Structures are given as C-alpha cells and as structure tokens.
Amino acid sequence: MAKREKKAHIEFENKKYLRIPLKTHVVMRDDNLQEVVKKYASDSLEDGDILFVSEKIVAITQGRAIPLKDIHPRPLAKFLSGHVTKTPAGIGLGMPETMEMALRECGVPRILYAAAASAVTKVFGRKGVFYEIAGYRAQAIDGPTPNTLPPYNQYVVLGPDRPDEVAKELAQLLNCKVAVVDINDIDGVILGVSESGMNRAAIKSILKDNPLGQDHEQTPMGIIRVVK
C-alpha cells in the first residue's frame, strides 16, 4: 500500500500553519536528547515557533527501548496478546513481548481487569475500554512493524517518563515553546508541554494528519509555525 503524502500546511481556526519536519540521525540510547534537539532544531527556529518532539526519541534516550531478545514473555502475556484486536495504528499489545511490558508497566491486576472489562463491553459493541482502564502507559507501548526503522524493528519502545519536565528543559535550552507528542496516522496525544497555558487540543488538531515520519524519513521532531 502506498504511503500517504505528508502535507506541509494545515488550516485550523482560520489560521494557516506550517509544519516543518526535522531530519536527524538514528537516535540511540547513548544520545543526549538536549544535544540532539539543539543540533537539529536550533538553526531552524524562529520567534513564535513551537517545537514538537516525538515521544519515541524521548523514550529511547531515557533507556526505555528494550530489545526483543531481552524480553521473556510469561504465559499470561502470550495468552492475552492472542486476544488483542489488531488495528492499522500498529501492533499494539498484540504480540507477547509488548503485552509482557504492559504487565510490567501497569501491573498484572490492572491489565487483567482491563482485559475482563474489554471482553464484556465488546459484546455490547463498545471498543477502547481496555486502554481506558489500562491507561496511557499501556497504550504508549510500541512494538515493531514492517516499516519500523532499524534497529527498532527489533525493539519494544515504552512511553516516555516525565514528558512535561522534558518539554520544559528543552524549552529553556532553545528559548521556545515545546511539546512532547505521540502522533500516528490514526490518532494522537500531547503528552507534555513546556508551559501550562499551551493549548494541547489545538496542537493535536494542528498535527492530526501526522506530518512526521519515523521510519526511513528519520524526522522524529518538527516545528509548528504560524504562516503570516
């Protein structure tokens, strides 16, 4: 299936915004996030810009990308992963390794309760209950897909820690507003912002069509700019 073309501009509430993806090297655990962001973003930023950074590079530099070979799923993880509905957004918890990490991140009781509630509500046509109960720490877990950039096609990546604090630290470094985002082609979440007054719903709408690319494009962060 052909990949959807990424558009540079979007209109939201009678304003036009330019989204500028920033290409980087393949970010690894030993990279320093602040150094990476400064290297690739500082020369492109203008007054009034918002820098948005993918949750994935934040998590990777926090050591929250786990090689598949180091994850040994328990029988419960294997059983539960077989009952996960696959979606176009990705593998989710539909493989034993990602489900194992959900059990570790969220705790066994919470995952079992979420699974039981989901099984009951699906009978009545309601979807999404599992993640409503399990929470973002489960929803944020990324497993490898056919388009995942190596070496992360052999990793499970967890959600980032302290996203608001990370956004504030980057904002102080670059003297601009910063958002840590989890955006895909289906939906998105604004995980962290550098200022409490930033409109998370507006940022999500401006990025709703996912202008970034994190496989061969290698653009795990970008700039939002109002077009004057």
Mean pLDDT over the full length of the chain: 91
- Which residue, 157, 181, 203, sits at the end of a domain? 157
Q: Read off the pLDDT of residues 206-219 as tens digits, 9 standing for 90 and up.
A: 999 888 875 667 89
Q: What is the token pair recorded at 214?
A: 């994190």
- Which residue, 157, 172, 196, sits at the end of a domain? 157
- For residues 153 and 185, membership in a common domain is answered with no
Q: Give the model's confidence band at 161: pLDDT under 50 very low, under 70 low, under 90 confident, else very high.
A: very high
Query: How far apart are alpha carbons 141 and 16 in whole angstroms?
Result: 33
* pLDDT at residue 66 tops 60: yes
Which pTM was predicted? Answer: 0.90
Q: What pLDDT does residue 86 have?
A: 66
- Which residue, 113, 134, 157, sits at the end of a domain? 157
Query: How far apart are alpha carbons 24 and 36 in whole angstroms?
Result: 8
Q: What pLDDT does residue 48 have?
A: 95
- For residues 169 and 199, membership in a common domain is answered with yes
* pLDDT at residue 33 tops 60: yes
Q: Give the model's confidence band at 188: pLDDT under 50 very low, under 70 low, under 90 confident, else very high.
A: confident
Q: What pLDDT does residue 124 have?
A: 87
| Contact assessment for residue 149 and residue 54, using Cβ atoms and an 8 Å cutoff | no
Q: What is the 3-state secondary structure (H, E, C) of 149-209?
A: CCCHHHEEECCCCCHHHHHHHHHHHHCCEEEEEEECCCCEEEEEECCCCCCHHHHHHHCCC
Q: What pLDDT does residue 1 have?
A: 41
